[in-house]
Amino acid sequence: MKNPTVIDIFCGAGGFSEGFRQQGFEILSGIDRWEPAIKTFNHNFGLNCSVKNVLDFEDSIEEIEALPDTDIIIGSPPCVTFSSSNISGKADKTAGVRLTKIFLRIVAVKKYKPNTKLKAWFMENVANSRNYLSAYYTFKDLNLTQWAKEHRLSPDKKAIILQDNQPIINSADYGSPQIRKRAISGEFIKQGKLIIPARTHKAPDEEVNLPVYITLGKVKQSLPKPNSTKISALVIDPLYPRIKIKASELTDHFYDTGLFKCEWRQSRYLKINHPYMGKMSFPENEDKPSRTITATKIGASREGIIYRSEFGRRGHGEYRTPTVRESACLMGFPITYQFIGSEGIKCKLVGNAVCPSVSRAFAKLSREEFRLAEIKESVIKIEPNLKNVNSLNNHSPKSFNNQPSRSKGSRFRRHPFKDGNITVTLSNYDIDKNEKEGSRWIASVQYGTGEGFPSFNYVDGFYKEIEPLIRSAKNGQKFLNIINNGYTDKIGTANELQEMYEMQRSKNGLLEPIELVEQLARFIQNLDVMDEVFEQNGHVIFRNKQKIPVKQLFALYAINKITTTANQE
């Protein structure tokens, strides 16, 4: 049997196809409606595919029949609507289901046509997609009633069965330096079911005779630093050591991805001090595989991957996001693989791709099932094709001008720390009612760390009632001296706090609200009261709690003083 053939539906940048190519499969065609994806796909596979909308196959059998008959069909329907991170998982799933059914419709026609060549098909999507897809699809479900009748098949016959054929695959188990969990559906036609490839890697604590997961640090350390100017140095691919190229041939890596202080500070807060979600590493833990690479490069998000910058700056540019090349390596692409477009487009191409290591595992298993000879060394492009490639390399430090600002009226919510299952919060809206009350700022406490847990607001001036209790606490007088001798003078009016928050910077000797809260946290953490406990003993300061960390009592005093000062007319 000559090289088995593959067609890639929703091909994107070609990550799914790359894994199959590495196992000796011939990629015949890719289908995608996005021009940068098709240009990238064509460039890397030497093809001449045209932009094509998959919706064209929804009602037309002729369009499906015009597609080349291949041994394998692969596809990754766009996962945006299925993703749990999209509008907190509340996005309309209709579009995702529709596109998936079109893919399955193509598979069904190719699978059941007379003298079919199809031997297997595979589909990748986010894990959450399984909650919205049916256990099976009949020909009728796939808009193939008439086609089924013409081929003497019952329209009610189960054409595609997904039940028990949609396992969750972790890319790190197959050699990706990234924890990326995706649902893989599919079928080996002869066996009538999906078979899962054996894992090639393991977590460090597993007692299995396999190599341990490849870490983020290994990839990062194997690549040159983005601020390196040694363009004649040799770069060895961290995942494909047979690939050795000059640094001058390494695209999309030698440029500055530094973040404004307001961006990385927001990410740090959401990662390590989120109101109701667990703690994450900031910056990234390089002793583990990377977290999931996303399609958007947002340095201010909880999901953003953040490194300390090699440029040695403080404040603006102190931290950075991965370069496109780093992200591509974490996905499992060889360093010779090229992406076409702007930085934003390249990030989307990389983040939306299927990890080649995962598709390679299914390709290797397919060869075994097809009784084909084993390919021991991956078939890879040793030399990069740099023709018409717009590399992002510029070897220049970033100028941090035009700091991003927030929208008018943006909501603010921050707490210094979580402790005792409590957060004491400064906000410009009522957290419990989820609504703003003019320009007023509010001091509140939340009991519990989940959404919907009880929240209680404090009236302005409440700090006076707890001042005697603080004075009697360990280091309490020292704390009061700090707050009332300099700190209070840096609190602006309600409107000034709002304006500074929107501008994302302090002004006129006043502190913007994020800095007020962060400075408060530093004050308290330096007072040696972290393990001290306050017992209310008849005082009703924190409802539903008898014992409170002293630092939360201190936080309540200061935050209520902020709101009292800001709300004064």
The residues carrying an active-site annotation are: 79
> Residue 163 corresponds to which tokens in the numbers above?
């039940």
Closest alpha carbon to 93 in 126, 68, 140 = 126
Residue with structure tokens 């309540």? 556
Angle between helices 35-45 and 343-351 (to 10 degrees): 70
Which residues 6+ apart lie within 8 Å of 317 measured at CB? 256, 258, 259, 260, 309, 311, 397, 398, 400
CA angle 219, 243, 371 (to 5 degrees): 100
Distance CA 533, CA 549 (A): 4
φ, ψ at 316 (rounded to 5°): -60, 130
Report which DSSP code applies to 483: I
> Residue 80 corresponds to which tokens in the numbers above?
């945006």
Distance CA 560, CA 20 (A): 61
Which residues 6+ apart lie within 8 Å of 352 measured at CB? 12, 13, 76, 78, 79, 295
Distance CA 75, CA 64 (A): 14
Q: Where are the alpha helices (DSSP H) in 145-184?
A: 145-150
Distance CA 530, CA 43 (A): 58
One-letter amino acid for residue 364 of the chain: K
Residue 547, strand partner residues:
535
* Cα-based distances in Å from 145 to 138, 150, 200, 283: 9, 9, 43, 54
Count the Cβ atoms, other than its own, within 10 Å of residue 85. Answer: 16
CA-based end-to-end distance of the chain? 84
Beta strands at 413-414 and 418-419: parallel, antiparallel or unpaired: unpaired
Q: Is residue 454 within 8 Å of residue 447, measured between CB atoms?
A: yes
**402: number of CA atoms within 13 Å, CB side?**
2
Distance CA 278, CA 273 (A): 8
Beta strands at 234-236 and 244-246: parallel, antiparallel or unpaired: antiparallel
- As a whole number of angstroms, the longest Cα–Cα distance in the chain is 88
Report which DSSP code applies to 416: S
Distance CA 187, CA 107 (A): 10
* Cα-based distances in Å from 510 to 130, 506, 515: 51, 6, 10
Residue burial 44-60, b: 16+ Cβ < 10 Å; e: rest: bbebebeebebeebbee
Report which DSSP code applies to 86: G
Angle between helices 463-471 and 550-566 (to 10 degrees): 140
